[in-house]
Amino acid sequence: MVFEPTERLHLGAEAEVWKGTWFGRPAVRKQRRPRSWRHPNLDHRLGVRRMISEARLLIRTRKAGLSVPSVWDLDYEGGQLIIEHLNGRPLIDVLNDETTTAPRAESVLRKVGAAVRALHRMATTHGDLSSNNILIEDEEVHLIDFGLASVEYDVERFGIDLHVLDEILGASHPQWEGGIDWVIEGYLAAEDELGPPQVLQGGAVPTANEVHTRLVDIRTRVRYHG
């Protein structure tokens, strides 16, 4: 595994993420960090399981045509995952840029909604849909950081995925009030364009309308219990 680091992008509880090159190509290395409070054997098993799951989901979604990083190398014993570095600005930067106009923000967030729906139609939830994990490159949306992603068929999990983004937009980007509405419009429009989701090996994926309805329900519950 030949990776030359150039810049640390993120230091989290679970992993340290570096930008660099892999055999001369722009790449990202995700290095798993041990959790000292866990038994070492358990920590290793959980880390290996999560890293393999992340790699598999990236490969699966990439093959289906979604714009996610390619997996280039995996050393699960060493806790390292090497993936393609995708160009683009984090959504958080685009939305907080003073030069971003309302039409541009609407266009971007509609495309984000369509990208999330494309992911959901594969029975996959992202698990951490923050504006840091969505890259905008011209008119294209890239989804990154699949460390908490999973294969799901329960409508609740899809609703929670959107609710995370809803909360992030409200907390970090209040200047775009109602931004989640543009996301939902793009989410629903994608289904209108593509038609009903296919029944997959694990069962039927909830429709876009079902997920939207569940999101509304989750919002109500959060307000009630909050």
Query: Do the beta carbons of residue 64 and residue 119 sit within 8 Å?
Result: no
Query: Do the beta carbons of residue 28 and residue 9 sit within 8 Å?
Result: yes
Q: Which CATH class is domain 3-84?
A: alpha beta
**What confidence score (pLDDT) does residue 104 get?**
97
* Four-CA torsion 186, 95, 162, 69, nearest 10 degrees: 90
Query: Do the beta carbons of residue 202 and residue 150 sit within 8 Å?
Result: no
**What confidence score (pLDDT) does residue 167 get?**
95
**What confidence score (pLDDT) does residue 78 get?**
86
- Cα torsion 184, 185, 189, 195: sign: positive
* Among the four given CATH numbers 2.10.109.10, 2.60.40.1180, 3.40.50.300, 1.10.510.10, the one describing domain 89-225: 1.10.510.10
Looking at per-residue pLDDT, the higher value among 62 and 34 belongs to 62
Residue ranges, CATH 3.30.200.20, the chain: 3-84
Q: Which two tokens stand for residue 184?
A: 């939902």
Looking at per-residue pLDDT, the higher value among 142 and 178 belongs to 142
Write the CB contacts of 112 (distance below 8 Å, at least 6 apart in sequence). Answer: 91, 134, 141, 165, 183, 186
Rounded Cα distance between 45 and 43, Å, is 6
Model confidence at 34: pLDDT above 80: no
Task: Show which residues are catalytic.
Answer: 128
**What confidence score (pLDDT) does residue 12 get?**
77
Cα-to-chain-centroid distance, residue 202: 21
Model confidence at 72: pLDDT above 70: yes
Looking at per-residue pLDDT, the higher value among 209 and 31 belongs to 209
Strand partners, 151: 124
Which amino acid, residue 102?
A
Tens digits of residue pLDDT in 91-100: 999 999 999 9
Give me the count of residues in the chain: 226
160-190: burial string, b at 16+ Cβ within 10 Å, e else: bbbbbbbebbeebbeebeebbbbbbebbbeb
Of the candidates 79, 80, 54, the one whose C-alpha atom is nearest the C-alpha of residue 69 is 54
Residue ranges, CATH 1.10.510.10, the chain: 89-225
Model confidence at 225: pLDDT above 70: no
Confidence of residue 36 (pLDDT cuts 50, 70, 90): low
Q: Against a cut of 0.85, is the pTM above it?
A: yes
CB neighbours (10 Å) of residue 8?
A: 12
**What confidence score (pLDDT) does residue 222 get?**
75
Region 196-205: mean pLDDT is 92
Tens digits of residue pLDDT in 7-29: 999 887 778 999 999 999 999 99
Which amino acid, residue 31?
Q
Confidence of residue 79 (pLDDT cuts 50, 70, 90): confident
3 state DSSP class of 197 = coil
